[in-house]
Amino acid sequence: MNSDYTQVNSNVIDSWVDNGWVWSIPISHEDFVKAKNGNWYDAPNMLLTPKRKVPVEWYNPYLKNNRLDGVKLLGLASGGAQQMPVFAAIGAECTVLDYSDKQLENEKMVSEREGYHIDIIKADTTKELPFEDETFDIIFHPVSNCYVEDVLHVWKECYRILKRGGILLVGMDNGINYLAEDDNPLLVVNKLPYNPLKDEELYKRSIENNWGIQFSHTIEEQIGGQLKAGFTLLNLYEDSDGVDMGAFIPNFIASKAIKL
């Protein structure tokens, strides 16, 4: 088994982008202009989870007059030019970090097309993040830590790089998706925790099917891990992608936490 699983995932996601992955389709010029004119909340894919929009009040206390002017915002594993252009359109000082070259190419393309500045950084979230302590006001982190084995590390790094009073907005898979596989979408075939690094056969299937190396995480790891890292939980909601098991039960969670 390849111990450098994050590079495997980077390559896999690049291949998904080449095949038109829904989370890699950049915002259109028309939607960017709408966002710049104040209609940003209705822009496509301003999401932490597959379907439910992030409540507008979750951007408080930084959202003022429907804008984020001067707010330092990190899109963590949020490449693809879907959310960052919108945040830039309403005044945020944006940085995007991702480990997929193709997703970051989309960010560069849209920023050049629309004429805004964004710091674009390729980095691995399993390592120390390349930022000074207390750099950001908001971290926007859509569903992606399913590609990371140790999520507590991610929460600790988020806590370190957020300013006091900063907010962490996160989308998370609750693990249910990993009970089944694509060829048996309603048949439980896997045990949890789902971890291909500890199951040679599962690793083999993951590589053969181009799934990437993904991991299930418990609520204790996801929400409890944020609390353990020092965050105070402010709110959460559940969501579903409406597919397979998600047609019957919520399979995603979003949370808002603050660094006091």
Structural domains present in the chain:
5-258 (3.40.50.150)
The pLDDT value given to residue 98: 98
What string of pLDDT tens digits covers the 260 residues of the chain?
A: 666 999 999 999 999 999 999 999 999 999 999 999 999 999 999 999 999 999 999 999 999 999 999 999 999 999 999 999 999 999 999 999 999 999 999 999 999 999 999 999 999 999 999 999 999 999 999 999 999 999 999 999 999 999 999 999 999 999 999 999 877 888 899 999 999 999 999 999 999 999 999 999 999 999 999 999 999 999 999 999 999 889 999 999 999 999 99
Distance CA 203, CA 70 (A): 44
Distance from chain centroid for Cα 217: 15
The residues that bridge with 108 in the sheet, in sequence order, are none
The pLDDT value given to residue 231: 98
The pLDDT value given to residue 185: 82
The pLDDT value given to residue 181: 85
Compute φ and ψ for 102, nearest 5 degrees.
Answer: -65, -40
Using the structure block, give the residue that is written with the tokens 């960052």. 84
What sign does the CA torsion over 57, 66, 93, 81 have? positive
- Assess contact for 174 and 219: CB atoms under 8 A: yes
And the tokens for 153?
């590390």
The pLDDT value given to residue 1: 67
- E-state strands within 105-191: 119-122, 136-141, 162-173
Which helix (DSSP H) or strand (DSSP E) does residue 159 occupy? Answer: helix 151-161
63 CB-near residues (< 8 Å, 6+ apart): 56
The pLDDT value given to residue 23: 97
Using the structure block, give the residue that is written with the tokens 């710049």. 36
